[in-house]
Structures are given as structure tokens and as C-alpha cells.
Structure 1
């Protein structure tokens, strides 16, 4: 087993957010994109407290992913306070509906697309959990992703 494989195996088994951030920072500094990406994806997978596979877990993965991207850019912890307040007021499903139905993509959508993480966008979650959304919302989410150049068939195969 190569060093990269050992690190990737350690990342896959880790449930320690600080350790995953260190793996990611070290890999970024050394230019090892595969390790940095694996650590990022594992980090946002373990941060939500909700049951894996649920719409709520997937949604919180999206929130944590965007907050981590902002943390990278700003060099400090950033919380999406307004989004978190909205979730408290209207819930996850309505927040995702509002993301998909908005006239323009959110900053979070754009940042995740730019970083090659379309599966973490709210629009992708609408399609992944399509049974929870009206056809109009699904169509808007699909259109936004396609307009951003996302191959929906590849996206669906990543679930």
C-alpha cells in the first residue's frame, strides 16, 4: 500500500474534524489534490448530526461545505447565520425550494460549482430527494444545474 493509499484509508475512516482539516491543509500545501479533496468530502460528510442519507443530513453537508470554502477564503470560521436562521424558521425543504426557485443562483451555488462540487448544491439535493419536491421545483433545480454546465446523468450516478 502506497503512502497516498494509507492516507486516503485513514481519511475514509476518520471521524475527527480537526484531523481531517489538518490532512486537507497539508495536502493543499503539498499540492496533493486527491488527498485534499478526499479530506474535504469526508469532513463535510461527518459534520452533520442528522442521519446519513436523509435530506437533512445532505442539506447540512451543503451548509458545512460552503462554510468550509468560506473558511479557506477568509482564514477564519464563518457561519451562514442568515441561512441557519431561515432553516429554523421555514425548515430544510422550504429553504431548498427557495434556493431552486430563486431568480439567480446563490453565492453558495456558484462557489460550489466553481470548485467542482455540484453534488453539494441545494439544487442537486432537490433532484436527489425529488420525492420531497414539486415538479416545478425539480425542473428549476435541473435547469439551474444544466445552465451551470453540470451533467445531470453524471451527478445522479454519484449518489
Structure 2
């Protein structure tokens, strides 16, 4: 069987249709490839050419909201997450979530579904030169507690 090429999909809505069909037919390889494409397209829609962290964050948000939608069986927006981003900005929100004593619901859901690369902690480590040392250390610890490999682009 020829591998599915998700690059032919041009909109998030097209991706959602294919993901739903792949899920129903239990085609996890297709689902996973299209899920990543969905996140790429959503991140690209929020891209800031001067700051790649922004696009990557919106890929993370897309992943979280898609998993919430699947879990709740209806379109679900991460309202509190979006409100925090509006009030504090992406950078400060990532700092506050990482410094939190408990893991966020988003972190738990993404890790449980095998998608740690879409967590805020992963972004903090990946862009470690942009965050305070204590925040990077906390992010690394949290990822390590779950046996998640530190991103190669991280500055160690």
C-alpha cells in the first residue's frame, strides 16, 4: 500500500475530513500524518515571519483543540488558553504554564496521545535561548518525567 501524502491537503477543513475518515477506518498512520498537516496549516495561518515561536505555538494550540474536539465529540475551542494568550501573549503564557506546579490539561492530553512535540514545554526547550534558565530547566524536568526526549534543537 502506497503511503498517504498529506501535502495534497490545502486547508484545515480538508484535513479534518480525512482525519475523521482515517479514524473511522482505524488507519492510524494516515490519521497521524494528516494530524500533523492540520497543525502545520493552522500554524501557518498564524505565522509571524519575525518569530517562528508564534507559528509553532499555534500548531500546538491546533493539536490541543483537535484532541479536545475528538474527546468531546463536538468542536471545542480552548477558551481559557486563548484568553490567556490574548492577555499575556504567547511567550509569557508559556513561561507561566511551565512554572505552574501542576501539568496543564493540554500537556496531559497531548502526552497521553503520544504527541509531546505539541506541548508548551517542548516549545520552551526547543526555543530555550528565548526563556529564563529556570523555565527551561522546569520544562526539561517535566518532559524527562514522562520519558520524552529533549528536542535536538535545544541548547543544553
The reply to whether TM is greater than 0.5 is: yes
Residue 156 of structure 1: how far off its partner (Å): 2.6
The answer as to 2:17 corresponding to 1:22 is yes
The answer as to 2:128 corresponding to 1:141 is no
Please name the residue that 2:55 is paired with. 57
Q: Distance in 2 between matches of 1:100 and 1:41?
A: 23
Q: Distance in 2 between matches of 1:24 and 1:156?
A: 28
Please name the residue that 2:127 is paired with. 129
The answer as to 2:85 corresponding to 1:87 is yes
**SS in structure 1 at match of 2:40:** helix
Displaced runs of 4+ in structure 1, greater than 2 A? none
- TM-score, normalised to structure 2, is 0.90
The answer as to 2:152 corresponding to 1:156 is yes
Aligned counterpart in structure 2 of residue 108 of structure 1, from 90, 106, 109: 106
How many pairs were matched up?
Answer: 150
Residue 109 of structure 1: how far off its partner (Å): 0.1
RMSD (CA atoms): 1.5
The runs of 5 or more residues in structure 2 that have no matched partner are none
Q: Distance in 2 between matches of 1:19 and 1:79?
A: 18
- TM-score, normalised to structure 1, is 0.88
Deviations 1:123-159 (A, max 9, x none): 000011111101111000000000112122xx437xx
Where in structure 2 are the equivalents of 1:41-80 lying within 5 Å? Answer: 41-48=36-43, 49-51=46-48, 54-80=52-78
The runs of 5 or more residues in structure 1 that have no matched partner are none
Which has a greater percent of helix?
1
